[in-house]
Amino acid sequence: MFPPSSIVSQPVILVVDDSADNLALLSSMLDEQGYEVRQSLNGPIALKAIELAPPDLILLDIRMPGMDGYTVCQKLKANPKTQDIPVIFISASDEALDKVKAFSVGGCDYITKPFKLVEVLARVQNQLKIRQLQQELQSRNFYLERLVQELREANDRLEKLSRLDPLTQIGNRLHFNDCMEREWQRAIREEQPLGLILCDVDYFKKYNDTYGHLEGDRCLYQVAQGLKTAVLRATDLVCRYGGEEFAIILPHTDIKGGKPICRRIVEQIQQLQIPHLRSSVSPSVSVSVGFASIIPQSNLRSDILINLSDKALYQAKHQGKNCFVLDVSAVEYFNHNDSVVIDK
C-alpha cells in the first residue's frame, strides 16, 4: 500500500507581475476558486519568496523592469529546490517567438492578456493536476525505492544467515564449499599454494554422553571461537564442516606456513580448559588436526585438497589425538610438543 500524497489540500499560487491591477485581478479570480494566492511585484522579490516558501504554481509576467520573467524562470529551473515548480507565463504579447522562448526557458504554459477567467482557471487547474500527479509519482517512486532497498537488505541478511552455522556462529558447510571453490580458482590464477585444515574434537561423543547435549553445544561454540582466535589472518576462513569437525581455509599457505597455525590451534583449544573427564588423552577438551597444502591446477578439483587434509586428520587420530599432522605427499607428524615422526 502506497503512502498518502504529500500534496496540500489548498494549492498555493504565486502571482508575479509589476502591475498592481493585474495582481489584484488575478488574485481575486483565483481566491474565489479557493486557492491560496501570494503576490510579488518583481523578479528579485519573487525569487526570495519562492526560496523561503515554494508555491505549487507560479503565474509569471514576462515584461518586468530590472529582471524579466524569462530570467526569473531560468533561475528557478537552475535551482534544484525550485526547478520542479510549474511556471505559467502571462504576457500581452501573442507573438510566436515570445511563446517559443517562454517554453525554451522552462515554462509549462502561456496565457495572453487580457485574461479570460475560464481560460486562466482551466490552465491553472491543468498544471496543478499535472503537478499533483508528478508529486504522487515521486512519492510512489521514493516509497518503492525504499521497499527495494529494504528487500535487498533483508535478502543480504537471509544470505548471511543461510551461510552461518547458528550453533557456533561461524560459516557453515555451504559457506565452506563456496569459499573453497573461490579460493581454489584464485590460487590457480595466482599460482599460489592453498592450505586446508580439518580438525575434530577428540572423544566428543563421550563428552556429550558425560555432560549432556547442551554442554556439548556450548563446547562446540567455545572450540569454534578458539579456532578463530588461533587463526590470525583476516583472509583465513573458519567453518563448521559437520558435527564436531571444523575446516579452515588458508590462502597462500604452504607446508611451512601451516605448521605454526596447526600448533596454535592445538595449544589454543587446550588453553580453553574445558573439562573432559572421559577423554583418554587430556583432562580437558582437545582436538586432532590435519593439514594439507598444494598449488592448485586447472586439471584438478578442490576435492583432492580436502582428501589430503582428511587423510592427515585420520593420521592425527591414529597417532593418538591431541596433535596435528602435515600431509603433502609424505606425512610429517608433529605432536603438540613438536617431536617429529616421518610416516611414509
- Residue pLDDT, tens place only, 269-300: 999 999 999 999 999 999 999 999 999 999 99
- pLDDT value of residue 287: 97
pLDDT of residue 6: 46
Say what the pTM is.
0.61
**How many residues in total does the chain contain?**
344
> What is the distance between the alpha carbons of residues 193 and 203, in angstroms, rounded to a whole number?
32
Confidence of residue 15 (pLDDT cuts 50, 70, 90): very high
Question: What pLDDT score does 79 carry?
Answer: 93
**What's the rounded Cα separation, in Å, for the pair 289 and 285?**
13
CA neighbours closer than 13 Å in the CB half-sphere of residue 95:
5
Task: Answer whether residue 327 shows pLDDT above 90.
Answer: no
> Which helix (H) or strand (E) element contains residue 37?
strand 36-40
At residue 329 the predicted structure's pLDDT band, cuts being 50, 70 and 90, is low
Percent of the chain that is helix, strand, coil (3-state, to 5) = 50, 20, 30
Mean pLDDT, to the nearest integer, of 16-44? Answer: 90
pLDDT at 144: 92
3-state secondary structure of 116: coil
Q: Averaged over 155-160, what is the pLDDT? A: 84
Average the pLDDT over 172-188 and give the result: 95
Domain 173-343 carries which CATH code?
3.30.70.270
Tell me which fold the domain 12-141 belongs to: Rossmann fold (3.40.50)
List all residues 6 or more positions away from 68 whose beta carbon is below 8 Å from its beta carbon. 43, 62
Round to whole Å and give the CA distance between 60 and 19. 12
Q: How far is CA 25 from the centre of its chain?
A: 55
Q: What is the pLDDT of residue 135?
A: 85
Beta carbons within 10 angstroms of residue 333's beta carbon: 20
- Going by pLDDT thresholds of 50, 70 and 90, the confidence category of residue 161 is confident
Phi, psi at residue 246, to the nearest 5°? -125, 155
Q: Where are the domains of the chain?
A: 12-141, 173-343
pLDDT bin (cut points 50, 70, 90) of residue 54 is very high
Higher pLDDT, 96 or 240: 240
pLDDT at 285: 98
Give dist(CA 142, CA 150) in Å, integer. 12
Q: What is the model's pLDDT at position 328? A: 52
Q: What is the mean pLDDT of the chain?
A: 89
Residue 51 has pLDDT above 50, yes or no: yes
Label residue 331 by pLDDT band (50, 70, 90): very low
Across residues 48-63, what is the average pLDDT?
93
**43-52 helix and 69-78 helix, angle to the nearest 10 degrees:** 30
343 three-class SS = strand
Cα separation, 6 vs 136, whole angstroms: 7
Residue 339 has pLDDT above 90, yes or no: no
